[in-house]
Structure 1
Amino acid sequence: MSAVNKVLIVGGGIGGLCAAIALRRKGIEVDLIELKSEWTVYGVGIIQQSNVVREMARLGVLDGYLDAAYAFEDVAIYGPAGQQLARIPGQRLAGPEYPANVGISRLALHKVLSETALELGARVRLGLSVESLADQGDSVDVLFTDGSRGDYDLVVGADGLFSRVRHLLFGDSYTPRFTGQAVWRYNFPRAPQIDHLANYQSAEGNAGLVPLAGDLMYLFLTSHEPSNPWMDPATLAEQMRQRLQGFTGLIGELRDQISDSSQVVYKPMEVVFVDEPWYRGRVLLIGDAAHATTPHLGQGAGMAIEDAIVLSEELTGDGGVEQQLQRFMARRFERCKYISESSILAGDKEMQHDREFDRIGLVKQMLARTAEPI
Structure 2
Amino acid sequence: MTVTSALIIGGGIGGLTAGIALRQKGIAVDIIERDPTWSVYGVGIIQQMNVVRAMNDLGVLENYLSHSYGFDSTTLFVGPAGVQEAKFDTPKLAGPNNPSNAGIRRPDLQKVLGEGAKANGCNVRLGLTVTNMDDDGAGVDVTFSDGTTGRYDIVVGADGVFSSTRQAILPDAPKPNYTGQWVWRYNLPRPAEVDGIHIFAGPFNGGFVPMQEDLMYVFLLSEEPDSKPIPVEGSAAAMVARAKMPPPQFAAILDQITDDAGVVARPLETIFLEGDWSKGRIVLIGDAVHASTPQLAQGAGMAIEDGLVLADELAKAATPEEAFAAYRTRRMPRVAHVAKNSIRIGDMQMGKIEPFNVGELTGQTIGLMVQPI
SS in 1 for 2:316: coil
> Counterpart of 2:102?
102
Provide, for residues 330-374 of structure 1, a one-character-per-residue CA deviation record: whole Å limited to 9, x for no partner: 101221111100001100000007673212221111111111111
CA contact (8 A) 1:88 1:364 kept: no
Aligned equivalents of 1:113, 1:283: Cα separation in 2: 23
Aligned equivalents of 2:216, 2:243: Cα separation in 1: 17
Deviates more, 1:66-75 or 1:229-238: 229-238
- Sort the Cα spacing of 1:323 and 1:34 in 2 relative to 1 into closer, same or farther, 3 A: same
- Sort the Cα spacing of 1:20 and 1:229 in 2 relative to 1 into closer, same or farther, 3 A: closer
> Counterpart of 2:127?
127
Provide, for residues 311-334 of structure 1, a one-character-per-residue CA deviation record: whole Å limited to 9, x for no partner: 111111132222111111110122
Aligned equivalents of 2:269, 2:42: Cα separation in 1: 20
> 1:84 deviation in Å?
0.6
> Counterpart of 2:187?
187
> Counterpart of 1:49?
48
SS in 2 for 1:7: strand
Identity, in percent, stands at 46
Aligned equivalents of 1:65, 1:302: Cα separation in 2: 14
- The aligned runs of 1:307-318 (5 Å cut-off) are 307-318=306-317
Q: Structure 1: any 5+ residue segments left out of the alignment?
A: none
CA contact (8 A) 1:245 1:252 kept: no
Verify: 1:246 aligned to 2:245, yes or no. Answer: yes
SS in 1 for 2:269: strand
> Counterpart of 2:199?
199
> 1:76 deviation in Å?
1.2
Aligned equivalents of 1:298, 1:141: Cα separation in 2: 37
1:181 partner letter: Q
RMSD of aligned alpha carbons: 1.3
Aligned equivalents of 1:140, 1:229: Cα separation in 2: 37
CA contact (8 A) 2:55 2:64 kept: no
CA contact (8 A) 2:11 2:33 kept: yes
Aligned equivalents of 2:298, 2:310: Cα separation in 1: 18
> Counterpart of 1:301?
300
SS in 1 for 2:303: helix
Deviates more, 1:39-48 or 1:277-286: 39-48
- The aligned runs of 1:1-374 (5 Å cut-off) are 2-79=1-78, 80-203=80-203, 205-352=204-351, 356-374=355-373
Aligned equivalents of 1:195, 1:81: Cα separation in 2: 21
Aligned equivalents of 1:12, 1:353: Cα separation in 2: 36
SS in 1 for 2:234: helix
Aligned equivalents of 2:129, 2:28: Cα separation in 1: 19
- Sort the Cα spacing of 1:116 and 1:256 in 2 relative to 1 into closer, same or farther, 3 A: same
- Sort the Cα spacing of 1:77 and 1:357 in 2 relative to 1 into closer, same or farther, 3 A: same
Aligned equivalents of 1:229, 1:320: Cα separation in 2: 43
Aligned equivalents of 1:317, 1:185: Cα separation in 2: 41
- Sort the Cα spacing of 1:268 and 1:77 in 2 relative to 1 into closer, same or farther, 3 A: same
CA contact (8 A) 2:290 2:339 kept: yes
CA contact (8 A) 1:72 1:102 kept: yes
Aligned equivalents of 1:354, 1:177: Cα separation in 2: 18
- Sort the Cα spacing of 1:345 and 1:311 in 2 relative to 1 into closer, same or farther, 3 A: same
> 1:261 deviation in Å?
0.9
Aligned equivalents of 1:336, 1:312: Cα separation in 2: 17
What TM-score, normalized by structure 2, do the two folds share? 0.97
> 1:256 deviation in Å?
1.6
CA contact (8 A) 2:40 2:110 kept: yes
> 1:229 deviation in Å?
4.6
Provide, for residues 215-248 of structure 1, a one-character-per-residue CA deviation record: whole Å limited to 9, x for no partner: 0000011111133354221111111111113113
> 1:280 deviation in Å?
0.5
Deviates more, 1:318-327 or 1:330-339: 318-327
Aligned equivalents of 1:353, 1:175: Cα separation in 2: 21
Aligned equivalents of 2:137, 2:227: Cα separation in 1: 43
Q: Structure 2: any 5+ residue segments left out of the alignment?
A: none
Aligned equivalents of 1:184, 1:246: Cα separation in 2: 16
Provide, for residues 261-319 of structure 1, a one-character-per-residue CA deviation record: whole Å limited to 9, x for no partner: 11000000000111112011000000000100101100000000000000111111132
CA contact (8 A) 1:50 1:101 kept: yes
CA contact (8 A) 1:132 1:168 kept: no
> 1:257 deviation in Å?
1.2
CA contact (8 A) 1:293 1:300 kept: yes
1:114 partner letter: G
Aligned equivalents of 2:191, 2:84: Cα separation in 1: 17
SS in 2 for 1:87: strand
Provide, for residues 43-97 of structure 1, a one-character-per-residue CA deviation record: whole Å limited to 9, x for no partner: 5111110111111111111111212211100111102432111122211011112
CA contact (8 A) 2:348 2:355 kept: no
SS in 1 for 2:238: helix
Aligned equivalents of 1:14, 1:336: Cα separation in 2: 16
SS in 2 for 1:267: strand
SS in 1 for 2:256: coil
